[in-house]
Structure 1
Amino acid sequence: MAAKRGVLFQGLAGVLVALLSALTWFAWPGWDDEYQTDPVTGVESGPYEAWQVAGCVVSLLILLVVAELAGTRPLPASIGLILGFVTAWTADAARSDTTGLFGVGAIMLLFGLTIGSAMVSGLVVGIRDRRGHRPS
């Protein structure tokens, strides 16, 4: 059974998850601001490519699972992940958006990450409880 993890550990772990989550934004899609135009159809897409989004999702998934398996409770781990990523995305989007719609994107991202984090945390807690390891 894992050692008891106090409030200080949980807070610091949440901050670390937030920082790593923000770095995940900049490592995958945060550096790309170019749109692509299909030469055949002329349809514009982007700025992110599918591989960037997939890599970002997998990285966030790994970050959350590792944080929780290392003893961070689901709430601080999830809050850190959500706030870190949404803050990084929003800051980047706000500086280049002229329509103000980045706010809508930030809210959608907030809800999506909240739902995804809750689902992943539920699975991690369920698997950990089945194996007899309860969080401290």
Structure 2
Amino acid sequence: MPANRGPTFQIVTAAMVAALSAVTWFAWLGWDSEYQIDSATGTESGPYEAWQIAGCAVSLLILLIAALLAGVRALPASAALTLGFTAAWTAQAARTDQTGLYMVGATMMVAGIGVASAIVSAIVIGLRDRRASRPTP
């Protein structure tokens, strides 16, 4: 684990995590607004495809793990990832939503990404601390 990082490092890297999580949303999902219709059933789905969601999730996972291993504390890293991604999604949803329900989606996104990033942070920190406490042969 890197040496204890100071507050400036924490603030700058948390801001970078937030920015990169917003970029992740735009790169994987922000460009797609087209819904798909299944020709057999007539069911509408979308606008995102499964591969986009999977790629986005893996990208966010890599970003969070990299930040934690670089020395960003779990709370700032998780909060920055959650807020950056949610802000990017909400900015677009607010412009295109006719119903006002985008705030429900934003709330669900904050809760879902927040819980997921907290779980990932706990696992990474636990593994990192366990590895650091092992005696070296």
Q: TM-score range by the shorter chain?
A: over 0.9
Inter-partner Cα distance in structure 2 for 1:95 and 1:41? 30
Aligned-pair CA distance for 1:31: 0.5
Match of 2:14 in 1: 14
Q: Which has the higher contact order (CA 8 A, sep 6+)?
A: 1
The answer on 1:92 being equivalent to 2:92 is yes
Inter-partner Cα distance in structure 2 for 1:45 and 1:91? 22
Question: Secondary structure at the residue paired with 1:47?
Answer: coil
- 1:1-136, aligned counterparts within 5 Å? 1-132=1-132
Aligned-pair CA distance for 1:68: 0.3
Note the alpha carbon deviations across 1:44-76, whole angstroms, 9 max, x for none. 000000110011000000000000001111111
User: TM-score w.r.t. structure 1 length?
Assistant: 0.95
Question: Secondary structure at the residue paired with 1:132?
Answer: helix
Inter-partner Cα distance in structure 2 for 1:123 and 1:112? 17
- Ranges of 4+ aligned residues in structure 1 off by more than 6 Å: none
Aligned-pair CA distance for 1:79: 1.0
Aligned-pair CA distance for 1:86: 0.4
Question: Contact 2:68–2:77 at 8 Å: present in 1 too?
Answer: yes
Question: Secondary structure at the residue paired with 1:39?
Answer: coil
RMSD across aligned C-alpha pairs, in angstroms? 0.9
Aligned-pair CA distance for 1:110: 0.3
The share of aligned pairs that are identical, in percent, is 62
State the one-letter code of the partner of 1:70: A
Aligned-pair CA distance for 1:4: 2.2
Question: Secondary structure at the residue paired with 1:3?
Answer: coil
Point out where structure 1 has 5 or more consecutive residues left out of the alignment: none
Question: Contact 2:2–2:69 at 8 Å: present in 1 too?
Answer: no
1 or 2, which has the higher helix percentage? 2
